[in-house]
Amino acid sequence: MAQAWAVLHTVLDPEVPALSVCDLGIVRLVAARADGIEVVLTPTYSGCPATEMIERSVVDALDGAGLGPARVTLQRAPAWTTDWISAEGRRKLLAYGIAPPGGGAAGDGAAGGAAQAAPIRIVRRVPPAAVACPHCGSANTERLSAFGSTACKALYRCLACREPFEYFKAI
């Protein structure tokens, strides 16, 4: 299963191509079954328009690496949370120019390559007091819109460097 996890780390999220599906924390389980490899995904939200594309990309990547046949099962409960984004994923978001969500990086468990589900944490979400600019680091920012290029992001502007940026909302 370590090979399958390695391949999944190369499958990029179509809406935030700086992150793999593993960085995003949506891969919940990779398991060998009698009929091939099963990958369990939890979409970031139930109406995510990229879900079908992600499913196809996962199957194509595993089949292309000679690890198939592969199939994807969607698991919507418990609901995905931004806590599942790995620490590496948060670093990649910042480097890409998107302010990562606040909170812990509990998503690291999914990236370990084990053939078992990653640990799940249920937390109460509190909006951030300030969102730091990914360009200059200033906390002197303002929200321009509750929604950015996708529903999971908000649009902000830094009042220090004047650059606009997106914030990946904590869910």
| Residue 125 within any structural domain of the chain | no
* Below-50 pLDDT ranges, the chain: 103-124, 126
* Count of domains forming the chain: 1
At residue 151, the pLDDT reads 82
- For the entire predicted model, the pTM comes to 0.80
| Residue 103 within any structural domain of the chain | yes
At residue 152, the pLDDT reads 86
| Residue 102 within any structural domain of the chain | yes
| Residue 9 within any structural domain of the chain | yes
For residue 59, the domain's CATH number is 3.30.300.130
Residue 74, class by beta-carbon neighbours within 10 Å (0-12 exposed, 13-18 middle, 19+ buried)? middle
| Residue 160 within any structural domain of the chain | no
Classify each residue of 120-156 as buried b or exposed e, where b means 16 or more C-beta atoms within 10 Å of its C-beta.
eeeeeeeebeebbbbbeeeeebeeeeeebebebbbeb
Containing structural domain, residue 40: 2-120
Tokens of 86: 């790995």
| Residue 153 within any structural domain of the chain | no
| Residue 161 within any structural domain of the chain | no
| Residue 165 within any structural domain of the chain | no
